[in-house]
Structure 1
């Protein structure tokens, strides 16, 4: 399997395949990263920030693409990233412009699976979450509330959990443990 170099967009959060998040780009290294991506020098990968160890991020990251950008009222740049493919970081280095570049390998994305039975509550709860958070919902042209993988990954992006706990679930071979986790969480909070 061939490795690829990716520029790392490191944030305190998780973006997974088919997910979308909007970010304000203000730091010089972030602007350099966006410029290098638009110039075609590097692909971009979203990485969850890690505060210890040799790397600035966890080893499981997501290749993304910039699907939209806007100049904000304060003249800063806003970009919308869409997750494409899970990757594993083999090594990383910081360039002189403070941008991180990683050598990566492709990891399999979770397969699409239908939601059935008691797990339908997870989909319904995500739909309600988007109604309460329209800024997140508006990022999507289409939602896939009948796909267990899509729904469970969106939950991992928005749940207030430590990145290390989220990534333990992301590194599973499928969405089943995440679905179980979110179902138990919902049951404990609404008394089902």
Structure 2
């Protein structure tokens, strides 16, 4: 399968296909990455930061598009990224100006699937999450709460987990284990709340 060179942007947060992430770009090397993408029409990969890595991210990343940008009052740049395609990072090289270029291989995205049975709970919980986090909800023109893949990936993006644990779930061939994991979390939270109410 053909590999492809991409510019690399690292971030603490995870971005997956069909997801959106607003990033404040301050570091000069990252500003140069954004400029390189626009000027050279080079594809952009976003990877979760891994301080000990070379390149400095986990091997599963997401090719994304810059769909919006704004100059902020402090002269920093805010960009909105939209995930397109999962990629595996095979190697990387750092340029003299500290930008990273990575050699990537296309990875299959998880396929859409309907939410059925008790898994509807994770969709309902995500809808409630967006109600209390309107800044995240506003990034999307529409939400796909009937698609288990879409819902699972949005949960992986926002759950406070170790990045290495997120990578383990992303390494699965479909979203089922992520759905099961999120459902267990929600059920345990609900049962804890019920226990507090009874005391």
TM-score > 0.5 by shorter chain = yes
Asked if 1:76 corresponds to 2:76, the answer is: yes
Asked if 1:155 corresponds to 2:162, the answer is: no
Q: 1:4-35 deviations in whole A, cap 9, x for unaligned?
A: 00111101121000000001111101100000
Find the counterpart in structure 2 of residue 65 from structure 1: 65
Find the counterpart in structure 2 of residue 189 from structure 1: 189
* Count of equivalent residues: 192
Find the counterpart in structure 1 of residue 48 from structure 2: 48
TM norm structure 2: 0.94
TM norm structure 1: 0.98
Find the counterpart in structure 1 of residue 113 from structure 2: 113
- Post-superposition, which runs of at least 4 consecutive aligned residues in structure 1 deviate over 3 A? none
Tell me the secondary structure at the aligned position of residue 39 of structure 1. helix
Q: 1:49-94 deviations in whole A, cap 9, x for unaligned?
A: 1122433111100000000001112121100000000000110011
CA distance in 1, matches of 2:75, 2:182: 39
Structure exhibiting the larger radius of gyration computed from Cα positions:
2
Bigger Cα displacement from structure 2, 60-69 vs 6-15: 6-15
1:40 Cα deviation (Å)?
2.5
Q: 1:41 to 1:96 in 2, by over 3 A?
A: farther
1:41 Cα deviation (Å)?
4.5
2:55–2:100 CA contact under 8 A, matched in 1: no
Tell me the secondary structure at the aligned position of residue 40 of structure 2. coil
Unaligned runs of 5+ in 1: none
CA distance in 2, matches of 1:83, 1:48: 13
Find the counterpart in structure 2 of residue 126 from structure 1: 126
Find the counterpart in structure 1 of residue 16 from structure 2: 16
Unaligned runs of 5+ in 2: 195-199
